[in-house]
Structure 1
């Protein structure tokens, strides 16, 4: 993965089509790198990426607040695709990881191991049924 300073151009990466089977984190990092590498500007500096990440998290927070918080949308305000807002956050996080030379797939495996040990007795385990031995994302 290439690093360096600068920014990247308009638009965004081309995501795999429906039914493509998805991407591993490593493949996602490679896809983000391939997209950013198409532009002379390359990766933004770390603090610029952090500012961008904060902006994207703010947009996600705004939508969640509209849906579940005390701040309803204004009349006529368009619906927002929550998945795309999360993917915007992920894209910038992947770019930041690439710029820093971090393999997020490896880092995620290590953090899951950390949580297994650190939080082993913190939560009440499920007994038989959905989620026993793992979690399934809510749909």
Structure 2
């Protein structure tokens, strides 16, 4: 069953709400997000770049790193009261208007 962004935001909020510490501060979450993006970059470099993994490095995956980034993004949004569905809709509107003719469209047959 697919989840909506709203359902994911509620699920993460239920998880975080069980802890006294709650959400981290925005600055801490930005640092955490930066760490996770760095881990994604490392995985992409191992898979597609010129830097193979060391034999001692633990197995990880691009999928898990993207999942970590999604989790921290949801935490960040929740802590600031941001509805990610609404944010997504605003961004898509921007791309569909401002950037409508920026890229070469595929021929439709």
TM bin, normalised by shorter chain, reads over 0.9
2:34 aligns with one of 29, 54, 68:
54
Matched residue, 1:115: 95
Residue 76 of structure 1, CA deviation = 4.6
CA distance in 2, matches of 1:82, 1:22: 20
TM-score (norm 1): 0.74
Consecutive unaligned residues in structure 1, runs of 5 or more:
1-20, 130-139
Corresponding residue SS for 2:90 = helix
Matched residue, 1:97: 77
Corresponding residue SS for 1:26 = helix
Corresponding residue SS for 1:43 = coil
TM-score (norm 2): 0.93
CA distance in 2, matches of 1:76, 1:48: 29
CA distance in 2, matches of 1:46, 1:76: 34
Would you say 1:22 and 2:30 are equivalent positions? Answer: no
CA distance in 1, matches of 2:79, 2:56: 39
Would you say 1:41 and 2:21 are equivalent positions? Answer: yes
Matched residue, 2:55: 75
Residue 22 of structure 1, CA deviation = 2.1
Matched residue, 1:63: 43
CA distance in 2, matches of 1:75, 1:35: 35
CA distance in 1, matches of 2:73, 2:101: 30
